[in-house]
Structure 1
């Protein structure tokens, strides 16, 4: 629970910044190093203070504590009379955003952003509108002599110009307090003089300037000189005031930006970062693209194969029961003679039976002038079209009268029609079937291949009486096909047929196959294969997600200093997390879109090569959702790591 801010006693109540008994130590293994020792310090608003000391004296640590980048190990720090000891990380970020402006020795500009974007960074986290903050950034850069360098990135600017951009950034939100850490350390003498002149002007304009330096010449520009050695203040001297200063700056606190504005800025920053590392971004995208494309194409192929098999079986009739001679699991049962046409007649009289037809089939030789071939001939009843849901395209099917008269008439399939009558209409033509002359009275509709690859159109259908007597010389049938009227009662009808035949034969010398059960079994098998393909594809998507996480972790490591700069300019933990989460999500979503496009294109190519595929919305939505979740899940850990970085350690990273 946060402790409420405590009002300081009147001794420090009028001071801008007050330190009381501040100590700072660092723990490295079992070794403790104390950097600051019981520092007491007051800084008034509008002062120009130089803190001087040699390297390792603790001056930079003191600056970090003054700027709320670091916390002391002990003691109290008061800002405008209120203790900051119990402020949360986000409250400290808001304080840095509204009150402080940092000018670093190494500039700490964002390499991928131009001068304007670097300057407006603090205003992003204070929620200023885009147009307003951009206009102010341009004005500040113009006042500092950089009007012709607005769109230049840090790598295109000299050291002095980069430091001016850093100063402009410090002033973006008002810059009540300017903390300058060795601002001239990386500059030549001329640029250094210019920067110190700027800081002097800021002091005269009412800004509180705290200068950290080891150079006595640089420190001479200040009105107050504080010398620190071995973590202790050894002297504190003020110069007589010779210049008229403006009243001290005091910018009122700002509210945090709205969530929508934060998300928009995070998205813009993420795109800029991804563009700055295009090659790495493309490699990251590759894993997601391959995963999404695999999910779409593999599911399309799997479902296409499943649908084709189901369609082929269904084309034979999903409402059919097929009765075969021989007991179940009996070897050589196809040669058993146990079924007769009267069995079909008896089954046809059962309730819910639409038709029951015997079938006696075998290969026979067909002949016509100049044509000779082997074809399957099927002797059956006139109700065969009703049972098989397969009707003549031209002509007619034979009738019960044809069966009674043992008529030599035939109905042929499309394949037979093309091969035996390529030059004429087969209707009314004569055909020798095993040396018996038949007249063609009809041509069946085209049906295509069976699920087992057999050409169903390569067939000649003849009356059962004619075929059994004149072609096959037997009455025992090869199978009986039973068409069920109401498929919801398929199981009951199956049982009734079984009981009827068992009663007629006395023994179970027959086998009944349920086409609906075959379709169901085949569908389950194909579903298993489709799931297997989908799992393989999802695994590749997960591998792509791990790649995203690895790249984002590398990105956090590489951009640690950038994270520190953002925190120093007012970014809260949520801002940092949003930025890296949105980068991961952007990579995943762009990869998802590319994967969807490539997956659909690949599926189309595979389809053009003759492989059956089935386009569906679900696999596309599934793949894209997986890409989104990949970015969300695998981007969380890197984003969380980035948001929990310590500002001081982040700024000190190389």
Structure 2
């Protein structure tokens, strides 16, 4: 038998068992679909993690308070000044407090995130201004009622002409503030859970006095001179905290952005691997289904196999016929699974499940499908090829 005759025989058999073949292929379709979606979700998760940290340098160190059980100690400007003086590995340091409040401009009102910050936050978090200037330490020292707003807030209040924001006055919790700057759009980047696009930044002392209150729990963000200075910078900050707070310094947590980024990426990869394992199991189940169908097909076509062998079909021809059938069924299932994924992913994005498809995901899903079909199809194919022609012809 030549290859064309083998393929024609396979097509005739598949057409004669459409329902059975489709149900068999369904397992492969679901498995390949799951592989594509799992890798797409994994890519989306890692991209989201990277965007969350996009505004931070890998040399960034964050100090948080309130982790003790007895009496919560809070960070303050004294710690910031001590780090500036006694931590030579640190290039920049800023303190930040956050809250939410009502922001009004004439008849337009919005609930927004309010942050009290110091000057160095701009450079530490790579904040760029579309218009105006950022808050300075002098603004905080002189209690200037000035504000820098995110692009979303600017567009809400000033619509298309955002440049008009500079010099305008907004009302925050009943007090008026002059807008001195508008930040460029940053997308999904966040600073301590605050989206700069939707935030309003005030001088630290002003925010503490008029908006957040003195019971606020601030964070300190430091920037090492270089990635190689991060470890020494952490040790210097720990020493400063112990000097200022003694035993209560254990209440503070110090985390560098690089390790947080790697930890978040590792979590995303672990979740992707777990889901990928589930997809592999589904594909294996689909492969077992293909094997079962081929066994049934061998039984049903035993006499036909005997006739083919009697008229000159070789053992190799029978083996290839059943093996190619398994490969075609699994390959078709892989292709349909990939096709289904292109229809499902836009729906997932609509429901804010971020997915980023990749050619590697498509390749892996199709390859796995074909490999599973080949692996589980070989045994029944070899059984068919090994049938004795006389026994096959006498089979009832």
TM-score category of the 2 structures, normalised to the smaller one: 0.7 to 0.9
Higher helix share: 2
Is residue 2:281 matched to residue 1:539?
yes
1:574-585 correspondence to structure 2 within 5 Å: 574-585=316-327
Alignment match, 1:378: 115
CA apart distance, 1:504: 4.1
Say whether the 8 Å CA contact 1:341–1:477 is kept in structure 2. Answer: no
Deviation at 1:564, TM superposition (A): 1.1
Distance in 2 between residues matched to 1:390 and 1:271, nearest whole Å: 63
Instruction: State yes or no: 1:486 paired with 2:226.
Output: yes
Larger Rg: 1
Q: Which moved more, 1:353-362 or 1:303-312?
A: 303-312
Deviations 1:440-471 (A, max 9, x none): 11111234564997554343222334445666
Output the CA distance in 2 between the equivalents of 1:451 and 1:383. Answer: 14
Taking only aligned residues, the RMSD between alpha carbons, in angstroms, comes to 3.1
Alpha-carbon distance in 2 for matches of 1:493, 1:277? 70
Residue 622 and residue 576 in structure 1: after superposition, are their counterparts in 2 closer, same or farther (change >3 A)?
same
Residue 128 (structure 2) pairs with residue 391 (structure 1): yes
Residues 39 and 276 in structure 2, CA contact (< 8 A), matched pair in contact too: yes
Show the counterpart of 2:364. Answer: 622
CA contact under 8 A between 1:408 and 1:437: conserved in structure 2?
yes
**Distance apart, 1:648 and its partner CA:** 0.5
Contact kept? 1:325, 1:479, Cα under 8 Å: yes
Alignment of 1:110-129 (within 5 A): 124=1
The equivalent residue for 2:79 is: 343
1:634 to 359, 367, 376: 376
| Alpha-carbon contact 1:320-1:481 (below 8 Å) kept | yes
Q: In the alignment, is the contact (CA less than 8 A) between 2:146 and 2:178 conserved in 1?
A: yes
Distance in 2 of aligned mates of 1:601 and 1:495:
52
Q: Report if the CA contact (8 A) 2:102-2:111 is conserved.
A: yes
Q: Matched residues in 1 for 2:236 and 2:318: separation?
A: 73
Q: Which residue of 2 aligns with 1:89?
A: none
The 2-side partners of 1:442 and 1:550 are apart by 69
Which 4+ runs in 1 deviate beyond 6 A?
A: none
Residues 442-591 of structure 1 mapped to structure 2, 5 A cutoff: 442-448=181-187, 450=190, 455-468=195-208, 474=214, 478-487=218-227, 489-507=229-247, 508=249, 509-591=251-333
| TM value normalised by structure 2 | 0.85
1:172-219 CA distances to partner (integer Å, 9 max, x unpaired)? xxxxxxxxxxxxxxxxxxxxxxxxxxxxxxxxxxxxxxxxxxxxxxxx
1:541-572 per-residue CA deviation (whole Å, 9 max, x = no partner) reads 11211111111111111111121122222233
Q: Which residue of 1 aligns with 2:338?
A: 596
- In the TM superposition, what are the counterparts of 1:121-270 in structure 2 within 5 Å? 124=1, 265-270=5-10
In structure 1, distance between residues paired with 2:192 and 2:298: 58
Q: How many pairs align?
A: 390
CA distance in 2, matches of 1:309, 1:646: 61
Contact 1:357 1:480 in 2 (8 A): yes
Contact 1:341 1:476 survives alignment (8 Å): no
* C-alpha displacement of 1:641: 0.8
Larger CA deviation: 508-517 vs 288-297: 508-517
> Do the aligned residues in 2 keep the contact of 1:565 with 1:651 (CA within 8 Å)?
yes
Instruction: Check the 8 A contact 1:414/1:445 in 2, yes or no.
Output: yes
The 1:330/1:557 distance shift into structure 2, 3 A limit, reads same
8 Å CA contact 1:309–1:451 kept in 2: the answer is: no
Shift of 1:317: 5.4
Distance 1:285 1:633, change over 3 A: same
In 2 relative to 1, CA 579–368 (structure 1 residues): closer, same or farther, beyond 3 Å?
closer
| Cα distance change of structure 1 residues 569 and 464 upon mapping to structure 2, 3 Å threshold | same
Which blocks of at least 5 consecutive residues in structure 2 are unaligned? none
Match of 1:439 in 2: 178
> Within 1, Cα distance between the matches of 2:230 and 2:104?
42
Q: How far 1:592 sits from its partner (Å)?
A: 1.6
Distance of aligned partners of 1:423 and 1:265 in 2 relative to their CA distance in 1, 3 Å threshold: closer
Match of 2:165, SS?
coil
Q: Note closer, same or farther for the CA distance 1:372–1:618 as it changes in structure 2 (3 Å cut).
A: closer
The 1:274–1:419 alpha-carbon spacing in structure 2 relative to 1, beyond 3 Å, is: closer
Q: Does 1:652 align with 2:358?
A: no
Between the aligned partners of 2:246 and 2:273, the Cα distance in structure 1 is: 46
Alpha carbons 2:35, 2:361 under 8 Å: kept: yes
Aligned to 1:288: 28
Q: Report the counterpart of residue 356 of structure 1 in structure 2.
A: 93
Query: 1 or 2 for the larger relative contact order (CA 8 Å, sep ≥6)?
Result: 2
Structure 2 contact 102–172 (Cα < 8 Å) conserved: yes
The unaligned stretches of length 5 or more in structure 1 are 1-123, 125-261
Residues 476 and 548 of structure 1: is their aligned pair in 2 closer, same or farther, counting only changes over 3 Å? closer
2:13 to 273, 290, 293: 273
1:409-445 alpha-carbon deviations (Å, 9 max, x no partner): 2212234334455597221112344554422111112
Q: Which whole-Å CA distance do the structure 2 matches of 1:300 and 1:383 have between them? A: 37
Distance 1:300 1:452, change over 3 A: farther
Q: Distance in 2 between matches of 1:473 and 1:580?
A: 77
Deviations 1:215-248 (A, max 9, x none): xxxxxxxxxxxxxxxxxxxxxxxxxxxxxxxxxx
1:427 corresponding residue in structure 2? 166
**Does the residue aligned with 1:457 lie in a helix, a strand or coil?**
helix
Residue 109 of structure 1 is matched in structure 2 by none
The alpha-carbon distance between structure 1 residues 547 and 368, as it changes in their structure 2 partners (threshold 3 A), is closer
User: Structure 2 vs 1, CA of residues 513 and 622 (structure 1 numbering), >3 Å: closer, same or farther?
Assistant: same
